[in-house]
Homo-oligomer: A and B are copies of this chain.
Amino acid sequence: MSGMWLKKKCMTKFTEEIKIGTIYTSDAFSYTQQDVNDFAKISGDNNPIHLDEDYASKSIFKRRIIHGYLGSSVFSKVFATDFPGEGTIYLKQDLKFLKPMFTDVNYTAKFTVLELNAEKHRALVKTEIFNAENSCIVAGEALIQNRKFL
């Protein structure tokens, strides 16, 4: 079975061969305040900077911000469903929260393949979130494994 055949059968959006330097850019995405409230409930992280408009208005951010973990979970989503796709196992992720993320704002995530290990089916991938003004909001690197696509 070719990789291409597998890709058509499995959950993925990227059907080209993955090489060092390959770039994948996600669709625009955003989160609502309801997403933030729900994430606070699930995680137990009820930091008022994410939930309390009045508290947040007095902070350096001037308004409520999205949990870093929620905002950057787009990396996990894309790895699992789009690029490389189904079957991805997450081994490492580092995150630098450079700027705050806000609700109802469009962001895109960019993935750049830095290293490939075909034998171990692993890739080291630069992971970045950008806003519409092309400012980098979250930066980092991920190590992933996928036995079908890497």
Contact = CB atoms under 8 A, between A and B. Distances in A.
Interface of A: 11, 29, 31, 35, 38-39, 41-49, 67-70, 72-74, 76-77, 80-81, 86-88, 90-97, 140
A72 B75 CA distance: 14
A22 to B, nearest CB: 21
Binding site secondary structure of chain A? mixed
A29 B47 contact: no
A38 to B, nearest CB: 5
B74 A43 contact: yes
B68 A76 contact: yes
Contact of A76 (B67, B76, B81, B90): B67
A69 B77 CA distance: 10
Contacts of A90: 68, 97
A49 B80 CA distance: 9
Given A38-B38, A93-B94, A69 B73 contact: yes
